């Protein structure tokens, strides 16, 4: 079994290579064909043909597209992601990592909060099935989910900061009390999804024989719901959690813009406008690789947690 | 299991009902679903009939101190914005943008690609299935919004050039820039929206394909298109509609988010995104709350109605087979 699993993981990783390769070509071509010239944006009003020519030579932008791509890929294999033109030749890592350090803790907190709120809400709704409380709970979270994040943020900021002066809005770093509101708002859209998913998977196991047996043994309803139903219902959640892991590192563009958080999503938006070729491609490949890894991780976790799950070698990435 | 039993109880006395009618009948027996459908009918109706329903031209400006950012009045029910434009008319036209965008995305990405490729992958199997699903996996891993931003932001000069060229040289005239922007954001969204739907359809087709009536139809020498449309599609439809209604709010949010960033529809086209952005500073909200309220509440109601409708449909269409 473990032999098969190892082989399976290796096959998955091998399949990931051509896919990442394909994605890198797409990103590369889409960016290079864009009509904006990074050297043009870099020099701005100081634009001078001679300096521009020299800079193009320096970054290799004067060469044909396929030569540029081959060089990029060659460097990539040696672990060199390139340099940022917008950020004065800092390497891509030097630009991206500090920004991810800001976005990732916020994203992680929001993700944990979404599950910490969503799972009990889903369990509660499923346990209250057939009463008005079930649709009311799910419905009210669906309503929260329906409010665009840049609307609810304005309302919350207006009420909490201007009306009751409870909070301050300035960004003071990731581990500061001012981060509570952005994290809370960022987790809200996820809560409805998690709650609904948890409820649906609870409902699927509620009528299983072992649940009836547990009740017949005279276990308390609480024990039945939590240890027998919720525990098994939790299995499908692994996929959902796994798939949302990469989002931690990409940050939330709207939250970062509204709250003035200097995170990775804003950095990328600005990099795209220039466009800062290597930074954009590097970050794009980074997020895509995270997605691939998350998928493999999900399958491995399933194999460990639920021995019934046989690894399907044909499923690919 | 209970839902399954309920379903067969409901139809036990009648002749077997076609699944699509059963879905519709059960849906209409839910009060919440009916209310949602009514709300959506009003939204879509107002949007489609915008030129006749809107009380004023959404782009007609009035530059006086009293006319700008005026609160609701008998003349302007929703008040006016910073350029003195009638907000009710702008809301109605913004609804039209939302509706046009979602309909365009649903027809191309949802119906044509999502349903079509899902049916094809599920029925044909083999390398066709593999190719379609692999492509879907790759696309679902690409950070969609990121790629949209690249295309909209980095290509804005080229698309503007195209728009102005069309404006000067074709019959489109002033309609060209909004049309070009609209086609581009739709075109950027479509390659990504079909994946989830195609997966749902495919897994349902796989289940149906094994059933005896399909074998019987094949044995009678039925043509493939006829088999797909007459025998497989009706069984796929309910679950497909669940997936579609659950995705609608997401589709609409693509346009909303891009327009909020200023990268969506053309500035001359009213959109909830750009209206919310213009009204959405904390200080602006404190001074002129009606600006944000009237431009956000309609789209919140729209999202909420689709969310609830999607939820009601999930309950009806066998929750056991529905996975996202």
**Contact criterion met (CB below 8 Å) for A86 and A38:** yes
- Quick one: pLDDT band at residue B61, thresholds 50, 70, 90? confident
pLDDT level of residue B162 (50, 70, 90 thresholds)? confident
Cα dihedral B221, B222, B224, B227 sign = negative
Chain B residues touching residue A144 (CB < 8 angstroms): none
pLDDT exceeds cutoff 90 at A7 = no
Cis geometry, peptide bond prior to residue A275 (ω within 30 degrees of 0): yes
Contacts of B178 (CB under 8 A, 6+ apart): B265, B266, B268, B269
Round to whole Å and give the CA distance between A137 and A153. 22
- Helices within A2-48 (DSSP H only): 2-32, 38-43
Residues of A in contact with B130 (CB under 8 A): 316
Reported as a single tens digit per residue, the pLDDT across A233-271 is 887 788 788 888 888 888 888 999 999 899 898 988 888
A171 closest CA partner among A97, A273, A260: A260
Q: How many CB atoms lie within 10 A of CB A239?
A: 18
Of A72, A90, A89, nearest in space to A81 by CA: A72
Q: What is the pLDDT of residue B321?
A: 38
What average pLDDT does the structure give for chain B? 79
CA distance B77 to B71: 8
**A26 pLDDT higher than 70:** yes
- pLDDT score for B217: 87
Give percent of chain B above pLDDT 70. Answer: 89
| Angle subtended at Cα B321 by Cα B318 and Cα B323, rounded to the nearest 5 degrees | 115
Nearest-angstrom CA–CA distance, B97 and B93: 6
pLDDT at res. B180: 80
- Considering only CB atoms, B157 lies closest to which of A26, A36, A292, namely A36
Residues of B in contact with A268 (CB under 8 A): 146, 149
Q: Helix A2-32 and helix B126-141: axis angle, to 10°?
A: 70
Q: Can you tell me the mean pLDDT for B4-30?
A: 57
Mean pLDDT for all residues in chain A: 83
Residue A165 DSSP class: -
Host H or E run for residue A181: helix A180-205
Chain B neighbours among A 174-233 (CB < 8 Å)? 192, 196-197, 200, 203-204, 207
Q: Render pLDDT for B175-232 as a digit per residue (tens, 0 to 9).
A: 777 778 788 878 878 877 888 888 888 888 888 888 888 888 888 888 888 888 888 8
The count of other CB atoms within 10 Å of the CB of residue B47 is 21
B312: closest chain A residue by CA: A135
| B59: nearest Cα among B22, B85, B24 | B85
Residue A232 Cα to chain centre, angstroms? 26
Residue A114 has pLDDT above 90, yes or no: yes
In the predicted structure, residue A46 carries a pLDDT above the cut 60: yes
What value does the mean pLDDT take over residues A53-81?
Answer: 84
ipTM of the complex: 0.84
User: A194 pLDDT exceeds 80?
Assistant: yes
pLDDT, residue A303, reads 66
Q: Could you read off the pLDDT of B253-262 as tens digits, one per residue?
A: 888 988 898 8
Q: Do the Cβ atoms of B134 and A147 come within 8 Å?
A: no
Measured between alpha carbons, how far is residue B206 from residues A298, B210, B232, B235, B318 in Å? 24, 7, 10, 11, 16
Residue A3, pLDDT score: 57
A110 min Cα distance to partner chain B (Å): 19
pLDDT of residue B246: 79
The angle subtended at Cα B197 by Cα B192 and Cα B200, nearest 5°, is 140
User: Which residue blocks in A217-276 are alpha helix, DSSP H?
Assistant: 221-223, 231-233, 237-250, 253-259, 264-273
Q: What is the pLDDT of residue A58?
A: 84
Confidence of residue B323 (pLDDT cuts 50, 70, 90): very low
- Tell me the average pLDDT across A40-69: 83
Report the C-alpha gap between A200 and B313 in whole angstroms.
13
Q: Name the nearest CA neighbour of B193 among B134, B123, B142.
A: B142
Q: Read off the pLDDT of each residue in A211-219 and give the average, rounded to a whole number.
A: 87
Average pLDDT over residues A286-304: 80
Chain B, 272 to 301: residues with Cβ < 8 Å from chain A are 276-277, 280-282, 285-286, 292, 296, 299-301
**Distance between CA atoms of residues B158 and B156, nearest Å:** 6
Residues of A within 8 A of B138 (CB-CB) are 19, 22-23, 317
- Give the residue among A253, A249, A243, A213 at the shortest CA–CA distance from A229: A213
Instruction: Point out the residue among A196, A236, A292 whose CB comes nearest to the CB of B141.
Output: A292
Stretch A159-164: mean pLDDT, rounded?
Answer: 84
* Residue A169 burial (C-beta neighbours within 10 Å; 0-12, 13-18, 19+): middle
For residue B150, give how far its alpha carbon lies from the nearest alpha carbon of chain A (Å).
6
Which candidate in A272, A276, A279, A287 is best for mutational testing of the B interface (most B CBs within 10 A)?
A272
Residue B177 · residue B164 · CB < 8 Å? yes
Mean pLDDT within B14-26: 62
Q: How confident is the model at residue A151 (pLDDT cuts 50, 70, 90)?
A: very high
Contact call for B150 and A280, based on CB within 8 A: yes
Burial of B28 (0-12, 13-18, 19+ CB in 10 A): exposed
pLDDT of B318 reads 55
Q: Is A171 helix (H, G, I), strand (E, B) or coil?
A: coil
Query: Is B31 in the A-facing interface, judged by CB distances under 8 Å?
Result: no
Any CB–CB contact under 8 A between A288 and chain B?
A: yes
**Do residues A263 and A102 lie in contact, with contact meaning Cβ atoms separated by under 8 Å?**
yes
Phi, psi of A94 (to 5 degrees): -65, -30
> Average pLDDT for residues B43-52, to the nearest whole number?
87
Residue of B nearest to A41 (CA): B154
pLDDT bucket at A106, cuts 50 / 70 / 90: very high
Asked whether B272 and B98 are in contact (CB, 8 A), the reply is: yes
The pLDDT score that the predictor gives to residue A93 is 85
Residues in chain B closer than 8 A to A284 (CB atoms): 142-143, 146-147
Under the banding of pLDDT at 50, 70 and 90, the label for residue B113 is confident
Question: Is B80 in a helix, a strand, or coil?
Answer: strand
CA dist B249 to A27, A148, B273, B282, Å? Answer: 28, 10, 14, 25
Q: Show residues of chain A in contact with B292, CB under 8 Å.
A: 151, 154
Q: What span, in angstroms and rounded, lies between the C-alpha atoms of A225 and B49?
A: 51
- Express each pLDDT in B279-305 by its tens digit: 878 888 888 888 888 889 999 999 999
Residue B324 has a pLDDT of: 33
pLDDT recorded at residue A306: 59
What's the pLDDT at A20? Answer: 83
Q: Is B24 helix (H, G, I), strand (E, B) or coil?
A: helix
**Is B8's pLDDT higher than 50?**
no
With 0-12 / 13-18 / 19 or more C-beta atoms within 10 angstroms meaning exposed / middle / buried, residue A2 is exposed
Q: Is B180 helix (H, G, I), strand (E, B) or coil?
A: helix
Say which DSSP state A83 is in: B
Residue A116's pLDDT band (boundaries 50, 70, 90)?
Answer: very high
- CB–CB contact A35 B157 (8 Å): yes
In this predicted structure, the answer to whether residue B54 has a pLDDT above a threshold of 80 is no
Give contacts of A135 with chain B, Cβ < 8 Å: 32
CA dist., res. A16 & res. A25, Å (int): 14
The reply to whether residue B154 touches residue A275, judged by beta carbons under 8 angstroms, is: yes
């Amino acid at each position: 079994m473990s032999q098969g699993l190892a082989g399976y993981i290796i096959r998955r990783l091998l399949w990931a290579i051509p896919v990442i390769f394909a994605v890198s070509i797409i990103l590369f071509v889409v960016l290079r064909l864009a009509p904006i010239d990074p050297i043009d944006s870099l020099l701005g009003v100081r634009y001078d043909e001679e300096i521009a020519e020299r800079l193009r030579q320096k970054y290799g932008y004067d060469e044909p597209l396929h030569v540029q791509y081959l060089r990029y890929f060659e460097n990539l294999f040696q672990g060199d992601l390139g340099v940022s033109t917008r950020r004065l030749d800092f390497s891509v890592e030097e630009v991206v990592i500090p920004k991810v350090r800001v976005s990732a803790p916020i994203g992680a907190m929001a993700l944990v909060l979404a599950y910490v709120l969503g799972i009990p809400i889903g369990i509660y709704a499923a346990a209250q099935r057939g009463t008005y409380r079930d649709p009311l709970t799910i419905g009210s979270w669906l309503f929260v989910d329906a409010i665009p994040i840049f609307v609810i943020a304005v309302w919350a900021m207006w009420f909490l900061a201007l009306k009751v002066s409870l909070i301050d809005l300035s960004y003071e770093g990731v581990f500061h009390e001012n981060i509570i509101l952005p994290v809370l708002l960022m987790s809200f859209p996820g809560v409805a999804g998690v709650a609904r998913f948890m409820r649906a998977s609870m409902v699927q196991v509620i009528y299983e024989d072992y649940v009836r047996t547990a009740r017949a043994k005279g276990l308390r309803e609480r024990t039945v719901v939590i240890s027998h139903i919720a525990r098994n219902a939790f299995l499908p959640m692994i996929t959902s959690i796994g798939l949302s892991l990469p989002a931690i590192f990409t940050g939330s563009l709207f939250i970062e813009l509204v709250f003035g958080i200097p995170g990775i999503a804003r950095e990328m938006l600005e990099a795209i406008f220039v466009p800062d070729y290597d930074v954009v491609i590097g970050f794009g490949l980074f997020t895509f690789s995270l997605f691939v890894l998350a998928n493999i991780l999900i399958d491995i976790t399933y194999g460990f947690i639920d021995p019934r799950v046989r690894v399907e070698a044909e499923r690919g990435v | 299991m209970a839902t399954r039993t309920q379903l067969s109880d409901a139809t036990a006395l009648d002749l077997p009902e076609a699944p699509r009618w059963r879905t519709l009948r059960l849906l209409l027996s839910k009060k919440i679903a009916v209310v949602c459908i009514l709300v959506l009918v009003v939204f879509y109706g107002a949007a489609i009939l915008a030129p006749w329903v809107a009380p004023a031209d959404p782009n007609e400006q009035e530059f006086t101190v009293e006319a700008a950012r005026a609160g609701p009045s008998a003349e302007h029910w929703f008040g006016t914005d910073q350029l003195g434009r009638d907000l009710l008319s702008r809301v109605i036209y913004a609804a039209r943008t939302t509706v046009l965008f979602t309909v365009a995305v649903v027809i191309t990405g949802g119906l044509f690609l999502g349903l079509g490729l899902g049916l094809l992958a599920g029925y044909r199997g083999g390398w066709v299935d593999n190719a379609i699903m692999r492509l879907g996996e790759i696309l679902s891993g690409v950070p969609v919004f990121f790629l949209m931003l690249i295309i909209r932001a980095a290509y804005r000069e080229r698309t503007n050039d195209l728009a102005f060229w069309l404006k000067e040289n074709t019959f489109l005239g002033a309609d060209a820039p909004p049309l070009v922007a609209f086609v581009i954001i739709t075109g950027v969204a479509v390659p990504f929206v079909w994946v989830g739907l195609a997966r749902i359809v495919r897994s349902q087709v796989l289940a149906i394909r094994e059933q005896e009536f399909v074998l019987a139809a094949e044995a009678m020498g039925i043509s493939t298109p006829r088999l797909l449309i007459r025998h497989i599609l009706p069984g796929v439809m309910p679950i497909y509609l669940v997936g579609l209604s659950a995705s609608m709010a997401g589709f609409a949010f693509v346009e909303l988010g891009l327009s909020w960033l200023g990268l969506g529809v053309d500035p001359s086209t009213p959109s909830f995104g750009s209206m919310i952005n213009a009204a959405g500073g904390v200080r602006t909200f404190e001074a002129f709350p009606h600006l944000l309220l009237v431009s956000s509440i309609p789209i919140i109601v729209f999202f909420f109605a689709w969310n609830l409708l999607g939820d009601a449909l999930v309950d009806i269409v066998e929750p056991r087979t529905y996975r996202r």
